[in-house]
Structure formats: C-alpha cells, structure tokens
Structure 1
Amino acid sequence: MSTRRRFVRQLGMGAAAAAAYPILSPLLSCNGQGAGAQSETTDGNGLFFKISLAEWSLNRALFGGQLDHLDFPFYAKENFGVDAVEYVNQFFKDKATDRAYLGELKTRCDDHGITSVLIMCDLEGDLGDTEQARRKAAVENHYKWVEAARFLGCHAIRVNAAGEGTAEEVARCAAESLTELATFASDHGISVIVENHGGYSSNGTWLSGVMRTVGLPNCGTLPDIGNFCIKRTEPVEQTLEAYLATECLEEYDRYQGTAELLPFAKGVSAKTYDFDADGNESSIDYGRILRMVKDAGFTGYAGIEYEGHSLTANEGIAKTKAMLERIGSGLTK
C-alpha cells in the first residue's frame, strides 16, 4: 500500500503529517452473477507531452497551513512556470458542491491562464469493496467530484481501485463500480482514470485486466511511475516517520507495469524521490520511461509529483521539471 494511501486511511493527513517535516522553501458482476497541461516553456522545447503539477507535491505546506488550496494554481505558475495543475480533493474536501468556492478557484485559474487538469479523489470509499452497500456508497460519493471537475474545466477525476478480498473478487467489483461511475461521468464529459496506488492496483496485469473488462472510452489509467509496491511492512506506529521507514516487501516491475498501463493512459504521474549528481531520478530510469511513453503515442499531461524528503518541495519540483524537459526534448525526433 502506498505511503499516501496509508496516510489517507489511518492518519487522515492532518497536522501530524505537517509537523513531521519542514515546509517548502521560498463481465461477471461483483456478486458472481453473469452479466497535459504544459509549462510555459514546453512548446518552445517541443516536448511530445505536456507538463502539469500534482498538488500532492506540496502536501506538507498545504496540510501545515503555509499554502492555501486556492493559491496553489498561481503558486505553481509563479514558482515553477507550470500553468496546468492537478488537484487533490483532500485539500478542499468540503467544497465539492460549493459553487462560490469553486467559482473563485476557476476565476483565479482563468485570470492567470492556468489549466485545471484533474482532481485526485481519496477518502470516498473503496470502489473494489466486495460489500454491495459500501461499494454503491463509494461510487455515489464520487459523483460530486465528477460534477466539480466539469465545473472547473478538468478532463478527469483520478480514483483508486482498492478493496479487500481475492484478486478476482476485487477485480470484478472494481470493474462494476468503474463502469457505473464512468457511465455517470460520460454525461458530464469527464473521464475516470485509475492510478496504480498500492495493493492489487499496483499489479499492471491486474489493473490492465480491469480496464479491459470495463471497456469504456472514458475509463482509463493514470500510470504512477513510482508506485508499483504491492505490499509493505507494517509501520511500528502511526506517524509519518514510521511510514517512511517501511520497506516494500513485494514490488511489481515498474517498467513492465508502465508498459501494461500505457495503452489505457489518460495521464501519467511523473513521481520522483531523489536525484543523482546529473539531475536524474536516482531510482527510476526516466529516459527509458519517457521513451516508452512516447512510443505508446501518449501526448497528454505528465504530472510532476515529488514525494522525496532529502530536498524541499520546491527544489524537488524544480528538479523534476528540469529532468522531464531535458530528457523529453531529446526524444522529439
């Protein structure tokens, strides 16, 4: 299970997370019955993809109160030259139906020429839940985010395909939920995209199989390049430091998983943790990854998601952007 999902489910991502680190510097049915946004410099570099910034990169500042969600889009453009943003619903979780609040966010984006790309949705229940009532509630809990995404001008919401049970049971239930949710979203011109986010979903074969089962044009994937850990050790306590100290016990090959998810991709999460002296991600071969992305014909948004702790958030975001532009510009021919 990913670090973020652990926080979401067990800590609620409150002040505890913010206090732990310094803030940034300036088909069968489920029941078994038959049935990019780009940076200001992107065009000049001729990249084949567009660059956006995932709000989670700034989670410590947002949870700690140093940055307000309404200010995030302009912060992205002013500090990093990125004029497309990916929201996280946790940072405006009680505002999904607040048209005055969403209108203010939209106005700020429009005033500064910023594109709202998608909303990452957590804390709304498990779409792969094998219990029908809970699964139905999870699906319906996402409806308001579909409507908010449409209002803001996003193209998609990002969801998770979590659930408890066997791989086959959760796959059937997730496919059933995604079919229902994507059908609802289609009427709003919104796509529903699933991230590999720990557990079964970080198995590329499993998630691509779910996509094939759903088979709807507005249901796809958001390959998270850095999130193919299927199972982790349990933390010794419910603190940020303890979660960061957990180790991956079972990891799916990230390159195989990326290749399996790219045919369904409607976005890419360019996650980074640390960098070498040459400015490359030290644990992920982004030259190989971006070549795969290009060969798949992907031309959408690659969302910067810095999740390291050796650099400030600002430094990690800037290094990720520079790396994507440098490697991406070398793949234009």
Structure 2
Amino acid sequence: MYYSSVNNSDDSKQYLGGDLLSREFDFAVVGNVGIDTNVYLQGEEIDFSREANFTENMDNIGQAGGYTALGFARLGMRTSFIGYIGDDVMGKWIRSEFRGIGIDDSGFMIDPAGTSRSVNIMNSSGLRKNFYDGKTHMNLHPPQEKYLPILRESRAVHFHIPNWARYLLKPAAAAGSILSCDLQDVTDINDPYRADFIKSCRILFLSAVNHESPVPVISAILNSLPDRIVIAGMGSRGVALGNNEGIRFFPAIESGSPVVDTNGAGDSLAVGFLTSYVVQGLDLEESVMRGQTAARHACSLKGNSVNLITMAELDGRAGCFKSP
C-alpha cells in the first residue's frame, strides 16, 4: 500500500500552513552518507598501459545523503539526518562535521559493516565514474525509535533510495510531512526498486544521464501520477521540469567558473529547489533557477562538500547567471 503526503494543488503556498511551521526541523534527510575518495586524472582516461598513474586524490564527506544534509544546513535550514554510519574513524568524522554545522545527529544509526565508501574517478572535464560500497544498506532495518520523533518534527522529508529508506515512507506520510525523493540515475522507470518511492513522494528528482531525452521518463510518471512535480537534471543540457501543466526546459547556466567536479551537483539542485519552493514559497520557475545556481556552484568545488552554497551567495547569484 502506498501513501501520498500532499494534495493535488500546485500552489507552493500550501506548504507554509497548518502545523508544519511549528515543527523543529525544516528538512529531514533520509539516505546514505559516507566518505568519498575522489581520484582526479590529469587527462580524460586512465592510462592502463602504465602501472603507475599520477593523480590528485582527495577524501571528503559525500554520497547523496551527505551532500544533501550539508547543503540544507549551508542554506540555514534546520536539518536533521536519518541514516547509517560505522562505529569507526570515518563515522566519527561524519558525526563531528554534522554537529559542527548544526545538523541534528540523533537519527544516526550504526551499520555493523562500517561507514559507506565511494571511489569517484574524475577526468579533467569534471565528469566521473562512481564505484560505490554501501556496506549492508540492502539488509538494514532502522528501529522506529530512531526515526519517528524526527519525522514528526520535520516540515519536509527528502528521501534518497537505500533499500532501508522505504520502511520510512509510510511513517513520514502519516506524520503529514511533505515528501520528496531523488531517484538518482534512472534507467527504467518501471524498475520495481524505485516504485515505492515514486508512489509515495510528491516531488521527484532524477538524473537524465542515461537518456537522450528525459521526456519519456517524465511523461511516464505524470501519466500515472499527474499530481507529481518531476525535476530532471541534464548536466550541461540544463533541467527539465514536468507537472500537470506539461514539461518545460531550462537551459544550463554559466557562472564563469570552470566545472571541476560534478559530485554533489544533483543533490545541490534538489536542495536549492526544495528550499526555495517548500520553505520560501517561491514559484516553480524561480525555484528551478535557484536549484541550478546551487548545482553550478557545487561543480566549481573540487573534493569539497563543506563549502556548498550559502543563502547569501544563492540570493546574490540567482538571476545573475546567464545561459551559455
């Protein structure tokens, strides 16, 4: 059985009423956090003809849940995080950074296999190939006492898609929270793994990296669930926005800074959009633009998830960037 958290109105002002304003947190982030090792190549490809390759290797807090929680906090949002870390040095690093920026860490749980890891091979254009080790996230079952108090005190809950997160969809909807989800790099919209998240969350984000055009994917969602808002990131091609009024395209913005690292860009798109649309009550178009601004800023940061865009920077830059 699936649950929908909000009504069919597209007016963002609906999100500002009721008891939501009195809740402790603006956003709860549900997802994986871990340590990313980014390997920056000097060229476009790995030279497998040589055993030794000279690269720049950097570690930072990352993965979808990590970038999203840090992004909300950098924008001044009251943020809580629900997810797993290991009882290890890397888990302690994550907890310390989250506490330092003001993210509530009462939703941290321990994965007995340790803290999740990713290795990202980055070429000189900022493009990446990801190698992900989610430890035991496919088999974890979070205890209710860890997440129910947070869900009940959160205006909005942004989901990522580790397997254990699906157990929180029904409680989050029952709490009356606004539900959103990042579906990541969708290949098949009928993928049963993502079905719970699509049917439970009103605002959906996805990467169109696997599609020449995002239109078929967005249309498939809207044909069965017309009240959804779907935002598809297309990298250098911009963003597509779909809702019950149709599908619109927004060209990529150019800041003048080089693209050095695309890690966290999609997460920043979601953070900028949700903060603008859900909390600030801005319209869809302006919210997309501010999401793009946050994403473009993330692309200028090399191996760095702690200097994501601030609200002052977002306010100052949004509307100033131009289409290339």
TM-score under structure 2 length normalisation: 0.36
Q: Which has the higher helix share?
A: 1
